[in-house]
Structure 1
Amino acid sequence: MMFFREYERIYLYLLSVLVGVGGGLGAVVFRALTEAVGGFFFTDLLSRAPSPLFVVLLPVLGGLIVGPLSHLLAPETRGDGIVRVMEAIHRSGGSIRTRAGLVLICTSAITLGSGGSAGREGPIALIGASLASTIGRLLSVDPLGRRTLVLSGLAAGIAGTFNAPMGGAIFALEVVSRRISTSEAVPILLAAVVGKAVASSLIDPVPEFVNPSFIFTPFDIVFCFLMGPIFGCLAFLWVRSYQVIDDWFAALPISPAIKPALGGIVAGACGLFLYGYGIMGVGYGGINTVFEMAHSSPTDQLILLVLVLAIAKAVATGCTVGSGGSGGLFAPTLYIGTMLGLSFGIMTDRIFPGLVANPPDYGLLGMGAFFAGAASAPLTCIFMITEMTGSYAALPALIISCILSYSAADHLLGGGSMYTVKLDRQGISVGRPAAVLEGVTVDEIMARRLVVISPETTIRKVRDLIFEHNVSGFPVVEKGRLVGIIAFDDIRMVPQDKLDVLTASDLATRDVVTVTPDRSAKQAMDLLYANRVGRLPVVSPDDPGRIMGILTRSDIIRGYETRVAGKPPGNASVGHPPFYPPP
């Protein structure tokens, strides 16, 4: 048995290497395709336009193409790709249609290339995850292994994009999986390293952002204690703002095929008035432009500019992704955090002159703190920014600001993040036990084989059956109808001379707490704890007297464990005694 388990582990590691190669290649191909589409829109088309003002129409044109493609071929490619991966992980055990990855390559490249405000990390994550899911399906990998492969593909894509294997692996575990285990961490990290190596061998691994000096004084550390909670609150505002925009577009009484074009109007307008600062597209070039301005001339006017850029990017991104455009929230969140961080650093230097070592360095601190709060991912930010900059000098300040921001945002968001708020409202669990149990029905986990007794059964017989079947009690059934329930607590104080005199009818609880098969496991668990009982008879919703099964705490726990493992709960009849008709 140990040999086969070891073989399965090595097999999964080999598959994770294969997935890592695919994820790294996917990151490179998608990046090249996005740049090619961008060249077509912003060079070929715009050069033929009668006025540069026509730049505002480019995202609209992109939306008119993307909307029908997504609507007709793969509706799951609308919005953020990482959210779709999380939905697949926590709802269907990592199963993602191959078509989704193929359609997403086209729709995301058009969204970003035409000037839509979004990130390429979300699409790359879904592309890598879709490839991994396809490999797992073709090779008949079990659901738990397929889930791990999907996370590995996502990590490889992120690692290949940012040249940050640790950051990609931690992102997959911390943000998407929402739990960290050794069995998942090893293949995921292996895939991330391979993905980064493949991407680096094909394109020059130049850092995405201007490498800062990272000169910090003890006063800078003190300012980070202030910066963290502030950025946690700002991250909360960003998540809620995006949620409002997303809800507004969802409520529009028009076809989803048209909505991305409406979002493109807003993105194009914001990009027109702030052209050259990265409002349109991914925005990394705009981050570097502002970094250079901050290093050369950190003026008061720059404070106003970066605040305007942060607001404009938030609005443009909300309308692009919230309307159904294909793209991610990852890069825009980094952009907004950078602008807010620069404003914080420059303003702090104005208020406390001479105490801030280098105000522009707060741009990357803000990037990390803001994303840590919005994505509920402090570890991801700490590792990723350290890898991207190649410097450990900022580690103390980064740890403080990211953890405090995460703590504040986590409290305000109730444990959610910008990736989970939409899933939570759809009833999709994202790793928290209560949310998982909401997605499991009583019908899936109840025991259909059970022992029942008649009201005439003596207490001695009831006691013997309890010991024989190792249960805490039985339903009492008369003429096929549930009339009560009797538990060991009801009979344990009965004197010996009364065991053959008293019957189940004398001691059974008549006011029985029941549950129907259509209720959630979370609702059933609440009933168990509220009434301090160990089991619930499951009755027909149309006929409350007809018993259909029994549900215990063990059944609920088993259902939770199988669901988070990516498997369907199934009927929990194993381990329960067979059905005995009333004597």
Structure 2
Amino acid sequence: MWIDRQLRQLSRPKSIAIIEACAIGIVSALAAVGLKQSVVWLEAWRVDVAGTFSPWLVLPPIGICGGYLSGLLVERLAPEAAGSGIPQVKAALGYFPIALDLRVAVVKWVSTALSLGSGFALGRQGPTVQIGAALAAQLSYWTQTSPTHQRQLIAAGAAAGLAASFNAPIAGVLFAIEELLQDVSDLTLGTAIIAAVVGGVIARAIGGRGMVPDLSHIQIQFSLAEIPLLIGVGVLAGLLGVLCNRSLLASLKFYRWQFRARSLAVKLAVAGGITGILSIILPYALLTSKDLQDFAIIGRIDWQNAAWILGGQFVLCCVAFGASAPGGLFAPSLILGAALGDLVATGAQSGYAQGLLPIDLVLSSPTVYALTGMSAVFSAITHRPMVAIAIVWEMTAQFDLILPLMLGSVVAYLVAEKLFPGSIYQHLLIGKGINLNLPDLAQQSWVGLTAADLMQRRVETLSSQMTIAAALQAFAASSHRGFPIVDDGKLVGILTQRDLALIQQEHWERQTPISTLMTQRVIAVRPQDPLTSVLYLLDRHQIGRLPVVEGRKLVGIITRADIIRVEAERVSSTVSPLKTRSEPSYLVYRTQSPATGRGRLLVPLSNPQTADILLRLAAQIAIESNYELECLHAIVIPRSSLPAETPVDLSASRQLCDRAVALGKTLGISVHTQIRVTHNVAATILETTRDRHIDLLCMGWHGKTATPGMIFGSTVDTAIRQATCHVMLIKLGARLQSQMVVGESSALDAMVRLTHLHRWLVPIAGGPNTEYALQLLPALIALNRESSIHLCQVFAPTDDRPDLGSLNTAADFIRQSTGTVANIATLHADDIPSAAIDFAIEQQCDAIILGASREGLLKQSIQGNIPNAIARGSDCTVIVVRAAITERQESH
């Protein structure tokens, strides 16, 4: 069945994942080996030229030209390729809009080869991580994988890149899982392991050894008496790591301040020139990374050379890294660690010779201290001790090194974390305004949501044996644009309005079963599938709804309307759906009347002063639309209390409900009431609209809000963004509010006050919200037989020939539905709200009804909300209408 194939494609079978992981490992290894050979060739060429000619005439120009070309390439083609590349990969995996594709991989490869080959004292391992991740991301684009699986492939590409660079598959997997993705699921771990192993094997087969030279002729051993010295290496490495991280960040700030008006190419040219000059002054071993690594790791140097290497590499690294040169920190940190270990070893040997150390202490090879220092400094800079241990151990393949590496790495990490919390990559991202470690990120973002969190569990379904005529009646009685088809509890298809459109085109018989017309190729998701996969399927197949199934059993449905809640939570302080569902409201009182209407209108009651007016307006619409009234009163309690166990006083709430029931008896309409105990009013309103199948939500509104980030207010914002039914907001005008007296209000008083609303203004802006406002207008003007209607539309001052099509269409609708001839006015102004308010004052209007803005909530926060602005600036009664989301958003 198609639904099973879709679920298998979404979950990515292990066989396909293995093939993808192997492909990622192969291309990442080839890229890593190619980058390594390019850097080695360019470095050898640079050394040969410097030996043939004067280094003063060769090295600075090579550094300047190589830096400029590298910076120009990055700046023009892929700005994401600047720096080490690891922060970019972390941000992309954290759902930040950072590009990772073939373009980034190619630019990173070429720019890194140019910068490192020109003498920049950085490493190729960090760039290789970004190259592998970018190639994996490009593969995921070509194969059209889900966002969740795309993240797994990117992490696998990063692991393969690191494994190929160091010939260390275990370290590649640990780094990808611990530093980049923080995910140890079976598929993620398996994909990363396969990609890393394939990458490591291929890199070793065609690229030779990694950073560490052949140590077979060196005896790797140590005594337990040396543990204090190894701990000392860890302490010094932690201090060096803190100094290095702070210096690198300071160097970045220095370049940004001094070269703030200069391009990246100019910054890298300056850094290349400085590097070339320093390379002449410093020891010859600093000319090439390969010679420097071998020289430091073997450890056959005196303390003067070790100090030169340590200080020189530190300065050169700060010069290159601060300019945002393409290159990483892995190799520099390992070289610094090796030099530090050499210093400790030579210092210990001198102390032993001079009798400062115990006579029975036999020092092991300096190589042990060099390798321990490599692991310790790497751990202090990256704050990843397990990765540091795995890298050095895999490169050396010396099991006896495990204890020294663990001692040095853990101690260095503890010291560094105490003095400078967070890795260098975390601080680099924070400097760019990206914080991946917010404690509530998973709760406030849509990242952690699943289909089960947002799906509607009560689903209206049809049977496959239902006739087309019966299906047409079901669509006419519902606002839905599609129904799942279920037989014996199993999902067998879906029927949409698009399918029904074929009836007129192909002249189907009305008694034909809908099984011949329904869509059998159902695209569905499972309850545990992440929201990212839901969004991916909705966008890829351009559909408006997704059934949620367990096997073939239908357990819920997700529409585009449900996704709007995610947008509201990301830009406002509304309650998370997870928290809302975990603490549902508790029904403590209910009255029910006969179900005689064809729909329901919900009125939340809160303020006794305005309750009667809202009820009378809602009742008038219910009469004209043949709706029943559903009245809700929510009693809010603290979150520390449970709604089902908290005693509450119902006297005031029942008085409001009794007034609603009395109004229903007077007008002859069915009125249902309920009182709920809740933590959140907005969540309770949404819960009631779903449970009671509400068609129209009518809410009172103050016309302003003092809550930052809100447009209409916390409760109203949530309702207007998340309720799938029609929504009507009512802000009572100054005249109505001045007539309200506490304790003396009644339905009769409300009717008398509402008769003063006889001059209506309808600003026309087009769209479904304005259309629905016009549909409600006949019921509203029925409150006063002498009502007059003004239609206006605001055009730009430069619009000499405005299009009056919308105004004329609205006027024709009003004339046909009410028999009233509307007055049409065209206004020319830049400020739409001010023009509408001035016109309302000029025409002495009592009420304004208009459609809600269709822009997203974030865009409204920045650019302004026109209905809200009109309500704030007008003393009239303002009614804002938003048509049902399902009618606007679902377009399958």
TM-score after normalising by structure 2: 0.51
Residue 443 of structure 1 pairs with residue 568 of structure 2? yes
Which residue is equivalent to 1:28?
A: 33
SS in 1 for 2:40: helix
Which residue is equivalent to 1:486?
A: 636
Residue number among 185, 191, 201 corresponding to 2:205 in the alignment: 201
- 1:69-148 equivalences under 5 Å are 69-92=73-96, 96-148=100-152
1:431 offset after TM fit, Å? 5.2
Residue number among 410, 424, 436 corresponding to 1:430 in the alignment: 436
Residue number among 248, 265, 275 corresponding to 1:242 in the alignment: 248
Distance 1:70 1:47 in 2: 31
Residue 213 of structure 1 pairs with residue 367 of structure 2? no
Which residue is equivalent to 2:419?
A: 412
1:74 offset after TM fit, Å? 0.8
SS in 1 for 2:116: helix
Relative to structure 1, the CA distance from residue 181 to residue 310 in structure 2 (aligned partners, 3 Å threshold; closer, same or farther) is: farther
1:14 offset after TM fit, Å? 1.7
Distance 2:591 2:293 in 1: 74
Relative to structure 1, the CA distance from residue 359 to residue 39 in structure 2 (aligned partners, 3 Å threshold; closer, same or farther) is: closer
Distance 1:328 1:396 in 2: 27
SS in 1 for 2:399: coil
Residue 547 of structure 1 pairs with residue 713 of structure 2? no
Distance 1:140 1:463 in 2: 53
- 1:373-522 equivalences under 5 Å are 373-414=380-421, 416-430=422-436, 433-434=439-440, 443-445=568-570, 446=574, 460-461=588-589, 476=606, 486-487=636-637, 489=641, 492-494=646-648, 500-501=654-655
Residue range with higher mean Cα deviation, 235-244 or 199-208:
199-208
1:161 offset after TM fit, Å? 1.9
Relative to structure 1, the CA distance from residue 98 to residue 444 in structure 2 (aligned partners, 3 Å threshold; closer, same or farther) is: farther
Distance 2:160 2:18 in 1: 14
Distance 1:164 1:208 in 2: 11
Residue number among 228, 239, 260 corresponding to 1:233 in the alignment: 239
Cα deviation 1:170-227 (Å, max 9, x = unaligned): 1222222245444322110111110111122223336633525221101122322333
SS in 1 for 2:636: strand
Which residue is equivalent to 1:287?
A: 293
1:395 offset after TM fit, Å? 0.8
1:162 offset after TM fit, Å? 1.6
Q: Does the 8 Å contact 2:56/2:280 carry over to 1?
A: no
1:357 offset after TM fit, Å? 2.4
Relative to structure 1, the CA distance from residue 459 to residue 497 in structure 2 (aligned partners, 3 Å threshold; closer, same or farther) is: farther
SS in 2 for 1:547: helix
The residue type equivalent to 1:443 in the other structure is A
Distance 2:163 2:87 in 1: 18
1:93 offset after TM fit, Å? 8.2
SS in 2 for 1:419: helix
Distance 1:273 1:99 in 2: 38
Q: Does the 8 Å contact 2:220/2:400 carry over to 1?
A: yes
Which residue is equivalent to 1:360?
A: 367
Q: Does the 8 Å contact 2:283/2:308 carry over to 1?
A: no
1:305 offset after TM fit, Å? 2.8
1:461 offset after TM fit, Å? 4.3
Relative to structure 1, the CA distance from residue 448 to residue 178 in structure 2 (aligned partners, 3 Å threshold; closer, same or farther) is: closer
Residue number among 37, 44, 54 corresponding to 2:42 in the alignment: 37
Aligned residues with identical type, % of pairs: 23
Larger radius of gyration between Structure 1 and Structure 2: 2
Which residue is equivalent to 2:179?
A: 175
Relative to structure 1, the CA distance from residue 475 to residue 324 in structure 2 (aligned partners, 3 Å threshold; closer, same or farther) is: farther
SS in 1 for 2:328: coil
Distance 1:308 1:136 in 2: 46
The residue type equivalent to 1:259 in the other structure is K
The residue type equivalent to 1:66 in the other structure is S
The alignment's C-alpha RMSD in Å is 4.1
Residue number among 273, 276, 279 corresponding to 1:268 in the alignment: 276
1:436 offset after TM fit, Å? 6.0
Distance 2:188 2:71 in 1: 36
Aligned residues: 506
- 1:51-70 equivalences under 5 Å are 51-52=55-56, 54-70=58-74
Cα deviation 1:46-90 (Å, max 9, x = unaligned): 467455553233222211111211111111111112222222222
Runs of 5+ in structure 2 lacking a partner? 352-356, 447-565, 578-585, 593-603, 615-632, 659-674, 683-705, 721-856, 859-883, 886-892
Relative to structure 1, the CA distance from residue 372 to residue 538 in structure 2 (aligned partners, 3 Å threshold; closer, same or farther) is: same
The residue type equivalent to 2:61 in the other structure is L
1:432 offset after TM fit, Å? 5.6
The residue type equivalent to 1:18 in the other structure is A
Relative to structure 1, the CA distance from residue 448 to residue 148 in structure 2 (aligned partners, 3 Å threshold; closer, same or farther) is: closer
Distance 1:65 1:85 in 2: 24
The residue type equivalent to 1:153 in the other structure is G
SS in 2 for 1:548: helix
1:494 offset after TM fit, Å? 3.0
Residue range with higher mean Cα deviation, 416-425 or 7-16:
7-16
1:308 offset after TM fit, Å? 3.0
Distance 2:171 2:394 in 1: 7
Cα deviation 1:262-295 (Å, max 9, x = unaligned): 21133223211124223x45x2321212344x33
1:486 offset after TM fit, Å? 1.9
Q: Does the 8 Å contact 2:100/2:137 carry over to 1?
A: yes
Relative to structure 1, the CA distance from residue 117 to residue 476 in structure 2 (aligned partners, 3 Å threshold; closer, same or farther) is: farther
Distance 1:323 1:475 in 2: 62
1:496 offset after TM fit, Å? 7.1
Cα deviation 1:497-546 (Å, max 9, x = unaligned): 77635889xx999xx999xxxxxxxxxxxxxxxxxxxxxx9875455577
Distance 1:550 1:329 in 2: 50
1:256 offset after TM fit, Å? 2.3
Which residue is equivalent to 2:21?
A: 16
Which residue is equivalent to 1:574?
A: none
The structure with the greater share of residues assigned to helix is 1
Residue number among 146, 166, 171 corresponding to 2:170 in the alignment: 166
Distance 1:83 1:26 in 2: 20
Q: Does the 8 Å contact 2:569/2:575 carry over to 1?
A: no
Q: Kindly indicate whether structure 1 or structure 2 has the higher relative contact order, using CA contacts under 8 Å at least 6 residues apart.
A: 1
SS in 1 for 2:717: strand
The residue type equivalent to 1:110 in the other structure is L
Relative to structure 1, the CA distance from residue 379 to residue 28 in structure 2 (aligned partners, 3 Å threshold; closer, same or farther) is: same
TM-score after normalising by structure 1: 0.76
Q: Does the 8 Å contact 1:91/1:428 carry over to 2?
A: no
SS in 2 for 1:31: helix
Relative to structure 1, the CA distance from residue 210 to residue 485 in structure 2 (aligned partners, 3 Å threshold; closer, same or farther) is: farther
1:459 offset after TM fit, Å? 9.5
Q: Does the 8 Å contact 2:234/2:411 carry over to 1?
A: yes
The structure with the greater share of residues assigned to strand is 2
